[in-house]
Amino acid sequence: MITPGGTGPAPRLADQQDDVRRRVVALACRAPSVHNTQPWLWRVSGTRIRLWADRSRQLSASDPQGRNLLISVGAALHHATVAAAALGRSARVTRFPSPRDPDLVAEIDLAEARVPFAEELELAAAIERRRTDRRRFTSWPVPPERLAALAAAAERPGTRVLPVDDPGARAVVERLVARAIEAEDEDPLLREEQRRWIAHGPDDGIPLSSLPAHERATERPDRFDRDGAYDLNSFSVDVSDAVLALCTETDDAAAWLDAGEALSAVWLRATVGGLSVVPLSQVVEVTETRAALQLDVLAGSGVPQLMLRIGWQEVYRPELPPTPRRSLDEVMKR
């Protein structure tokens, strides 16, 4: 939690700086990542924090290009700037600063201390509350103006966040999501990769406690295991759920990083407003469904990078436990 300092003896300036940087990195590591792979490495020196994409944690079967990897790193980058602001530091970000080191994704320079704004504290508080909550949403509709505000909060040059509200387009999205899930399920390599990241280890992967128990009688496609061991029916899209399409102008590393920053902006803002978000990446991972999405749903509005299912969880549902993260020592580049 972000709390004001105590009343003990004043720590040395260098210790304070070190503390702020480590807290920024620790909060940034709470970012969502594909299968909770946490594909990032950090280094702090002076007032600068460097962020690398960790290719050793790339999903070779489902993400050969590293799209989901860089979206995840982009989310961590945005989390870092939100955390820095709440800790009273503005952050100047230089993306891909070194052509010789393409995995060095960003340099974040922290400025002098200042008093954070209330909205910055609110957004940072959402970092620790945010979860991928795959339980079935209630049927309460998400008001279109709420959706539009979320989309607007995340737009940045080269990135667009589009509500998919036309009933015809929604039906196409549902069909494509189901088709992508089936296509990945038929591929033994993809199936095995997904299975491996469930209960993967004590500090990464998707723990069983984050996966919903069976919630409905109807047969619907799900993301991971279809043999009934893990019933993830609520992974697919329901008609009452709102859907946002995260798109970019280009389809390269810079665009994927931007998409990740936009993802984090939407998700934290949604969390502040009590809304739940579940990314749907399979429909973008499968070449055929990605092409159909671009042509039939987005019709020239951009390249789809991620679809987001958005809705309300039941008010009195117990909170999900947070998913685990690797220790700071492990994610610090030596």
Ligand X SMILES: Cc1cc2nc3c(=O)[nH]c(=O)nc-3n(C[C@H](O)[C@H](O)[C@H](O)COP(=O)(O)O)c2cc1C
Beta bridge partners of 91: 110
CB of 258 to ligand X, least distance (A): 13
Amino acid identity, position 271: T
Closest CB to ligand X among residues 109, 298: 298
CA atoms within 13 A on the CB side of 256: 22
CB of 46 to ligand X, least distance (A): 30
Closest CB to ligand X among residues 89, 290: 290
CB of 90 to ligand X, least distance (A): 25
- For the chain, what's the residue count? 334
In three-state form (DSSP H/G/I as H, E/B as E, the rest C), the secondary structure along 107-172 is EEEEEEECCCCHHHHHHHHHHHHCCCCCCCCCCCCCCHHHHHHHHHHHCECCEEEEECCCHHHHHH
CB of 39 to ligand X, least distance (A): 10
CB of 211 to ligand X, least distance (A): 9
Closest CB to ligand X among residues 19, 203: 203
Residue (of 154, 134, 145, 133) closest to 74 by Cα position: 154
Q: How far is CA 225 from the centre of its chain?
A: 22
Closest CB to ligand X among residues 48, 220: 220
Closest CB to ligand X among residues 108, 286: 286
Residues near ligand X, by CB under 6 A: 32-36, 68, 71-72, 75, 131-132, 134, 206, 223, 235, 278-282, 306, 323
Residue corresponding to tokens 């723990």: 207
CB neighbour class for 73 (10 Å; exposed up to 12, middle 13-18, buried from 19): buried
Residue corresponding to tokens 């390599």: 189
Closest CB to ligand X among residues 29, 162: 29
Residue number of the CB closest to ligand X reads: 32
CB of 281 to ligand X, least distance (A): 4
